[in-house]
Amino acid sequence: MLQACHLSRDQMPALYEGSEITGALLPEVAKAWGMATVPVVAGGGDNAAGAVGVGMVDANQAMLSLGTSGVYFAVSEGFLSKPESAVHSFCHALPQRWHLMSVMLSAASCLDWVAKLTGLCNVPALIAAAQQADESAEPVWFLPYLSGERTPHNNPQAKGVFFGLTHQHGPNELARA
């Protein structure tokens, strides 16, 4: 890749494990903040760092992280490449560790979107509306592809859908979907 871009390895930054110290906070900043020398570490991606924070550091441990996107994060024993599955394999934030990630681009962010769409003022109001949905109504299905998708379809053009709508459905049923 470097050759194709007419670059050399010397032009590239150094690579570090996430826990490696790469420098220190500038002394004048540390002093202004009343701190001693503060090491700066390479760090990790948001989900890998969060996983370390909640103790997901050993193979076969897993967690679900919901935010704008939804992530299923599983610590693995090594790099596992299966691009056809759209499951991603990355270095963990700790040395000699790896993780797999399955990512839906629109997860909890859909709640805000549907609240606005239905005229409900916020997510708690949306949840309350979902609890009031007509149990006898035919089900409405929601595919949350509002920003394309990564897993399992890896399709940036994927579109969101409410499926099964009829005249008997209203904001409560959309909230439940």
58 is catalytic: no
Task: Say which of 46, 58, 112, 134 is annotated catalytic.
Answer: 46
Distances (CA, A) of 63 to 11, 53, 89, 135: 37, 12, 15, 31
For residues 160 and 155, what is the distance between their CA atoms, to the nearest angstrom?
12
The residues that are catalytic are 46
